[in-house]
Amino acid sequence: MHIAEGFLPVVHCVAWYAVSTPFVIRGARKVIQEAKEHPESRLLLAAAGAFTFVLSSIKLPSVTGSSSHPTGTGLGAVLFRPPVMAFLSTIVLIFQALLLAHGGITTLGANVFSMGIAGPWVGYWFWKLSSRLGWHRNVGVFLALAFADLSTYLVTSVQLGLAFPDPVSGLAGSVAKFMGVFVISQIPLAIAEGILGVLVFRLLTDVAKPELERLGILRPVVKEAVA
Amino acid sequence: MSRKTWTTIALIAALVLIFGISFVVGGLHTDPYERFAGTDSVATSTIQESNPDYQPWFEPFFQPESGEVESGLFALQAALGGTVLGFAIGGLWGRRRSERSPATAEPNGPAPEPAT
């Protein structure tokens, strides 16, 4: 999902910066607010950011013979709502753009939009949908992480399609072409990310139960009075 | 073993299976010149093929000179993230422990909030 440095026309770079900036500013405010008002959730906040940091650094093989990397943004979106992830993803993407020449500063706005805004929101909607349907929370976590991952790559395909419409088949053909590069490769990775997310979430429900109850992720168990 | 432990084992086994299958199936039809190329670089070459006139208008300030250096920097990123993740989960674990057994907790009260 990292659009390489210089690989979007200037107008597109500026436009994606303009779209993403307010989300990132709001996310930064939310992170500061959360850390100030609820110091007890700082460790969870760090865990959510670190999870994205680790997952986006790992390139994994896929059935298509390409390799790609997960995004890890769904977990933080479920725990702290999506705005926080816009800010945390931006930190990850700046690190990768400057130190690894992966992604870029000119394409940062577009990459933040796909990984830090679209992905987390889609994942969060799946989490909400799942809990509304009364499904087990682990199912919700699986869906949130898998779809945050997959939708990030769908958005990247659209972004590249918009920038480089195919001379013959136009915009739709171009989007389909980039989806061919990204999406099928990403499906097994998204499933794996969902499973890994469930593993981490089960660990968190063991060690961070009161924090998760305060965030409304776990319903507090009402202890029955001893007769 | 408890049901919980079995679930954990089953989930880890599923992860291993997914990448095992990906590796074998992907290996059958991967590009022989660049096995398991990153999708990000495949997208870049797709652009260059369909729009040969397009010139990237900006270059990265710093580019790792070799694949070895690059993979080391990626490992650094994973290590940083892993350290913070481990610290956070360890911190939460310690918090629960000191809550559960106040008698054995440090004499100064609950563990201090780690500085951030």
CA-closest candidate to residue A98, choices B78, B44, B62: B62
pLDDT band at A129 (very low <50, low <70, confident <90, very high): very high
Nearest residue of A to residue B7, measured between CA atoms? A199
Between chain A and chain B, how many beta carbons pairs sit less than 8 Å apart?
A: 199
Please write the tens of the pLDDT for every residue from B47-70.
Answer: 988 888 898 888 888 888 788 888
Token couple for A154? 């769908």
Compute the average pLDDT of residues A170-199. Answer: 95
Helices then strands, counting H and E runs in chain A, come out as 9, 2
In Å, how far is A219's CA from the nearest CA of chain B?
A: 18
On chain A, the residues whose CB falls within 8 A of the CB of B22 are 60-63, 188
On chain A, the residues whose CB falls within 8 A of the CB of B85 are 46-47, 50-51, 54
Question: What are chain A's domains?
Answer: 10-213 (1.10.1760.20)
- Does the pLDDT of residue A222 top 70, yes or no? no
Compute the average pLDDT of residues A184-207. Answer: 95
pLDDT band at A194 (very low <50, low <70, confident <90, very high): very high
pLDDT of residue B109: 53
Please write the tens of the pLDDT for every residue from A148-180.
Answer: 999 999 999 999 999 999 888 889 999 999 999
Nearest to A67 among B38, B59, B63 (CB): B38
Domain edges within chain B: 1-58, 66-116
Which ranges of chain B have pLDDT less than 70?
Answer: 102-116
Q: For residue A191, which amino acid is it? A: I
Q: Distance between CA A38 and CA A49 in Å, rounded?
A: 17
The region of weakest confidence among A140-144, A168-172, A207-211 is: A168-172
Contacts of A129 (CB under 8 A, 6+ apart): A143
- Does the pLDDT of residue A224 top 60, yes or no? no
pTM of the model: 0.90
ipTM: 0.90
Nearest to A104 among B25, B60, B88 (CB): B60
Nearest residue of A to residue B97, measured between CA atoms? A207
